[in-house]
């Protein structure tokens, strides 16, 4: 919890806080990100974390009805990419440029 005299949050800090809340509330998003990233890794030579998020949205739109479509900010792609690289060290050197270009 932030105190009265804490420095104001930067835009990056605000996005990171929103990501942390989203990540805690939606643990399936991380599993889906890993699943689709692993699939794309074997079918594409170049891809991005944002492309994975777009696929997550697409797949959820096809499999859900009404207002339950998966909503995730594009700003979160960098955090999911970094988490993926941290938990999949073998991919770190080979895919680092692809994730952050």
Instruction: Indicate the pTM of the whole model.
Output: 0.75
Phi, psi angle pair for 7, to nearest 5°: -65, 150
Instruction: Print pLDDT tens along the chain (101 aa).
Output: 566 667 778 999 999 999 999 999 888 899 999 999 988 887 877 778 999 999 998 888 766 555 556 688 999 999 999 999 889 877 654 444 445 44
Q: Are 81 and 88 in contact (CB under 8 A)?
A: no
Token readout for 17 is: 């806080």
Residue 57 CB coordination number (10 Å): 14
Look at residues 9, 13, 16, 1 and name the one whose alpha carbon lies nearest to residue 79.
16
């Amino acid at each position: 919890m932030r105190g009265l005299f804490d420095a104001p949050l930067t835009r990056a800090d605000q996005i990171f806080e929103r990501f942390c809340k989203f990540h805690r509330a939606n643990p399936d998003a991380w599993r889906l990100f890993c699943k689709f990233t692993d699939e794309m890794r074997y079918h594409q030579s170049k891809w991005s974390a944002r492309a994975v998020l777009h696929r997550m949205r697409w797949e959820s739109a096809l499999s859900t009805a009404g207002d339950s479509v998966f909503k995730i900010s594009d700003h979160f792609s960098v955090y999911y990419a970094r988490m993926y690289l941290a938990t999949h060290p073998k991919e770190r050197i080979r895919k680092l440029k692809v994730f952050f270009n």
